A = this chain, B = another copy of it.
Amino acid sequence: MNALPLSPRATGRTSAGQDAARLAAIRGLIADEMAEVDRLVVARLDSEVSLIPELARHLVAAGGKRVRPMLTLLAAKLCGYEGGRQVRLATSVEFIHTATLLHDDVVDESDLRRGRSTANALWGNKAPVLVGDFLFSRAFQLMTEDGSLEVLRILSGASAVIAEGEVAQLMTTNDTGTDEAAYFAVIRAKTAALFRAAAEIGAVVAGRPSAEAAALAAYGEGLGVAFQLVDDALDYSAHQALLGKTVGDDFREGKVTLPAILAFQTGDAEERAFWRRALETGDQRPGDLAQAQALIGRHAALEATMLRAREAGTAACEALDPFPDGPAKRAMFDLVDFCVDRAY
């Protein structure tokens, strides 16, 4: 058992500045490849149709954490791969992710992402839907150029599961009867599936045996579940400015995430009536978000959500048992810490 339990750092909240420094340290090991990914992202979102790079660059310039392509690069490194194929495939992963972001923002009618206006807020719904389709197609062009049918199988499968997860999330929206099992099914599909695939293909390019691919897939899945749990906790936390994110999005959209599920299930009749009104009927009033945060606080639902995130993170680390210790493995442990322990 060489999985990292929670590191000392993971027990305390960190600032956004510390987060950035930690992420930079993890990226150090794969700095050259990440720079190549950054270049390839820009090069391959080009098009004679000027609105496409314009809109796509808006999102890219907003500067995501690029955790998913990092996973592919780190997994390839962990497998001792020394060729260059992982760069194109990591770019493909980032394109799939960016396409889903564009479509999510249309679906959620979001106005802000990463502290900037969303593409749909600036361009309406039409262009983001179509540019998302373009990026999705580009992702498959990149995979085809690479030429691995196994990678194509993994990523086309993940894409289908992501879409299923997003639709399943739609179906649980406004339903306070959503239980933990349904919630976890949604986040495994909508978020963890791409983390899982991104890590798994690192083993595929390295030509490693299927047991190692499965171990990396399990690592990605645990990390993805942890990542989404933290995201859902952050949406009820009071540190919007730190994350550059509007707090309360899920609440306003009637999304039933784990903090709300736990507060609802442990709440009394009056509290449940509040949750039903606010999440099911869409009848939200001034002060409702603060009330939701207070109820979540009363039932320690954020702490419970974070505990599950840590458990998923620990499972991710344990999945790496088959691999020898070394810089790549330590970076992947650090990435778990980073994702679980983002400022909130």
Contact = CB atoms under 8 A, between A and B. Distances in A.
Interface in A238-262: none
Nearest to A148: B149
Contact residues on A (Cβ < 8 Å of other chain), bracket: 35 or more
A168 B126 CA distance: 12
Nearest to A144: B152
Nearest to A156: B140
Interface string A154-179: 00110110111011101100000000
A196 interface: no
Contacts of A141: 153, 156-157, 160
A171 B125 CA distance: 14
A129 interface: yes
A19 to B, nearest CB: 30
Copies in the complex: 2
Contact of A52 (B49, B130, B167): B167
Nearest to A100: B133
A49 B160 CA distance: 11
A134 B160 contact: yes
A59 to B, nearest CB: 15
A82 interface: no
A226 B141 CA distance: 28
Given A153-B144, A156-B144, A167 B130 contact: yes
A138 interface: yes
A156 B149 CA distance: 14
Contact of A136 (B133, B138, B168): B133
A157 B140 CA distance: 9
Nearest to A129: B103
A130 B140 CA distance: 18
A107 interface: yes
Contact of A49 (B140, B153, B168): B168
Nearest to A102: B129
Contacts of A144: 149, 152-153, 156
Contacts of A138: 160
A47 to B, nearest CB: 6
Contacts of A100: 133
B166 A130 contact: yes
A25 interface: no
Given A127-B167, A127-B170, A133-B163, 14 more contacts: A103-B130, A106-B126, A107-B129, A130-B166, A130-B170, A133-B162, A133-B166, A134-B167, A137-B156, A137-B157, A140-B140, A141-B157, A144-B152, A144-B156
13 contacts: A49-B171, A51-B167, A103-B129, A106-B106, A106-B125, A106-B126, A107-B125, A125-B125, A130-B163, A134-B167, A137-B156, A141-B157, A147-B149
Interface of A: 47-52, 99-100, 103, 106-107, 125-127, 129-134, 136-138, 140-141, 143-145, 147, 149, 152-153, 156-157, 159-160, 162-164, 166-168, 170-171
